[in-house]
Amino acid sequence: MRWLPGAKGHKCGLPASRVATGRAGRSDPVDSIGNGYAVLSAVRLAVPATAPRALLMPFTLAHPIAVLPFRWIWRQGFIALAFGSLGPDIPYFLPASISNFGISTHTAQGALTLGAALALALLGCTVLLRPLLVAPLWGRARLFVERELGAFTKSPWVCLQALPAVAIGSWSHFVADSATHPDGWIVNHVAALRAELPVLGIAVPVYHVMQYLFSILGLGILALWYQRELHELDGCVDPGAPARPRELVVLCVVSVITGVSSAIFAGDFFSSVHGHIYVMTTSTLATWIMLYTLYGAGILIFGRRR
């Protein structure tokens, strides 16, 4: 079968007034018309006029695993590194009308320029929208986000470090993709990555298997790291944030339903299982980001309390 291609000070990183003690051609996977499929499908479950040509990419949120070791040697630059590692995939989550920049973010030059610029813009927007993004959170999760994003508003030095950090992070994305895509430099120079493995009776290239391993193991390791970071905040509790677990579960369920529906509605536009997985995961993530942002805005505007 042919596969388609912290701030210094208190460990909570917050002012003392906020802390209470206690326990709490893959150059583009889609063409210029279909580039914004994920977001559009999340809103209206529509199928693009032109289907993706090659849907080979590790799951976007797994890419920060490539820069995770920097957390222990460049702590102040890690968040910018993580955003940079997401940068080259940002066009996939934008509407087609604004996502055709004329240069691919999945080339050596594009990753260091456009990919890094998009990541820097996303980081800036995230920092500016920090109150909205932390509104649905509570306890140590809220403190963690406030600590990491708040560092950019407290220290110009942290902001300056973001410039090289997003470039390095974006480049790490390009390197990871070059080892997991059929047209990647590493794949083309390492024969072992082009070998085929039998998977359920199907011959699958090693680089393709690595995509799934990179995604699954990457997300798992990042989840463990996040839990470790939360443990560092033991004894820190934000007294003003009520827990909203049911609301967030509803957001997740709606997002997954939208993603699965998008993959089903894609129908024959995708000739591989991997293509449908791509649509499902990308639409799910795009929908969740949209719903979470709207929910946070609603909390701030209407002052909803449980």
With respect to residue 178, please indicate whether it lies within any of the assigned structural domains: yes
Short-list 176, 163, 209, 142, CA closest to 64: 176
The rounded distance, in Å, linking the Cα atoms of 259 and 283 is 5
If you average pLDDT over each of 116-120, 179-183, 208-212, 272-276, which comes out highest?
Answer: 116-120
| 156 confidence band (pLDDT: 50, 70, 90) | very high
Total domains in the fold of the chain: 1
Q: Which domain holds residue 171?
A: 25-302
Looking at residue 96, what is its pLDDT?
72
Q: Which of 27-31, 137-141, 169-173, 282-286 has the lowest mean pLDDT?
A: 27-31
With respect to residue 8, please indicate whether it lies within any of the assigned structural domains: no
Residue whose structure tokens are 């090659």: 54
Residue 232 above 60 pLDDT? yes
The rounded distance, in Å, linking the Cα atoms of 92 and 286 is 9
From first CA to last CA, the distance across the chain in angstroms is 53
Looking at residue 235, what is its pLDDT?
78
Q: Which residues pair with 20 in a beta bridge?
A: 237
With respect to residue 16, please indicate whether it lies within any of the assigned structural domains: no
With respect to residue 170, please indicate whether it lies within any of the assigned structural domains: yes
| 237 confidence band (pLDDT: 50, 70, 90) | low
With respect to residue 12, please indicate whether it lies within any of the assigned structural domains: no
Looking at residue 40, what is its pLDDT?
35
Rg from Cα positions in the chain: 20
With respect to residue 20, please indicate whether it lies within any of the assigned structural domains: no
- pLDDT of 49-77, one tens digit each? 333 334 445 588 999 999 999 999 999 99
With respect to residue 5, please indicate whether it lies within any of the assigned structural domains: no
| 46 confidence band (pLDDT: 50, 70, 90) | very low
- pLDDT of 75-106, one tens digit each? 999 999 999 999 999 998 887 767 777 888 98
With respect to residue 14, please indicate whether it lies within any of the assigned structural domains: no
Q: What percent of the chain has pLDDT over 90?
A: 54
Short-list 34, 39, 28, CA closest to 49: 34
Looking at residue 4, what is its pLDDT?
36
